[in-house]
Amino acid sequence: MTDTFDPAPPTAPTPRPPSVAALRDHCLYLEKERQAVEAALAQAESAAQAAFAQRDAAAVAQAFTERSALDARLQEIAADHARTGDALLAALQPALDAWQQKAQETVGRWASDQRHWLGQVDAHLDGLAQAVAMLTRLRLARQEQRNALLSELQAIVATVHPYGARWPDVAWDVPPLDVRSLLLRLADLQRQLEQAAAR
């Protein structure tokens, strides 16, 4: 007896779900059909009233039959539209989720860049504060050093007392600080920083 091998029946390919465009087009088609059925229903209602006025029993019965069929079709269209609308939203959800993730990642990069450059500004402000403090110390140091130099000169001149000696001329002043220009630049930076902080 020879063993026989029965191959498994081929598996049917899984049908692809309808696309967003196809579902949207079907919803639009259903809406147009609903409008057409509603128009036909209005005509059937008018025909039923006319038949009732004419006491045409057969015409009244036919009009009511048509109206019942149209009412049933409207219910079918409403149910189909609801199902298709749910499927449309479900099909669109992956794209919405991907967009949301992309937007959140973009906002995260914005926050990271802002923290980086705000840190740079803060570091430069620390350097600016140190520079301003150094300028203040330099002014005080110049005064102390000038006084020390004058005391030294007095001691030199005193060595020839009572004979007088001509004191050397020294231009003690240094170039003035252009404070106005610096303050204007700082004010401009302040405006730019306020604009950057505006939402």
Q: Who wins on pLDDT, 6 or 83?
A: 83
In a domain, 198, yes or no: no
Which runs of consecutive H residues, i.e. helices, occur in the chain? 20-53, 57-158, 179-197
- Number of domains present in the structure of the chain: 1
Q: Which two tokens stand for residue 149?
A: 């130099």
- Residue 11 pLDDT exceeds 70: no
pLDDT in tens, 113-147: 999 999 999 999 999 899 989 988 998 999 999 99
Q: Which domain holds residue 93?
A: 20-167
User: Quick check: 103 and 73 in contact, CB under 8 A?
Assistant: no
In a domain, 187, yes or no: no
Distant-in-sequence, close-in-space partners of 135: CB < 8 Å, separation ≥ 6: 177
CA distance 162 to 41: 132
In a domain, 144, yes or no: yes
CA distance 164 to 28: 113
